Amino acid sequence: RVHFSGFDNDRPGQLVYRFCKAGEETSDLLYQHCDAQPGASGSGVYARMWNGRRRRWERKVIGVFSGHQSVERQGASQEFNVAVRITPLKYAQICYWIKGNFVDCREG
């Protein structure tokens, strides 16, 4: 499952939480059918992952919600909501912008 919250245009001032089954993915994109509206773009998308060392479920940000996209598959157009994946390279760059030092960005 993927989870994210955002401020949809059709509900001003309300934070809307949603989750849904993760769909198809590429190395850079996550496709899903969460019921998102304009205004939710830019929301962090996270998954709950088991941390065996700490013996608990933890949230891990895995992408940023981008919006709606039509994808051609087998001659037909399918509609998806799309998130841009945070790859290890993107994570390293974001961490460097925040911390200013790659040495401090080893765990992710």
What is the assigned CATH class of domain 2-105? mainly beta
User: In terms of C-beta density within 10 A (0-12 exposed, 13-18 middle, 19 or more buried), how is residue 82 classed?
Assistant: buried
Q: Could you read off the pLDDT of 2-59 as tens digits, one per residue?
A: 998 988 888 888 999 999 888 888 999 999 888 888 888 889 899 999 999 999 999 9
> If you search the block for the tokens 């939710």, which residue do you land on?
40
How many helices, marked H, and strands, marked E, lie in the chain? 1, 7
The pLDDT value recorded for residue 87 is: 93
Strands 16-20 and 22-25: unpaired
Q: What is the pLDDT of residues 48-96, one digit of tens each?
A: 999 999 999 999 999 999 988 888 878 888 888 899 999 999 988 999 9
- Walk across the sheet containing 56-73 and list its strands: 16-20, 2-6, 44-51, 56-73, 76-85, 29-32, 22-25
Model pTM? 0.79
What pLDDT sits at residue 107? Answer: 62
The amino acid at residue 98 is I
Tokens of 79: 């509609």
Which pLDDT tens digit goes with each residue over 52-61?
Answer: 999 999 999 9
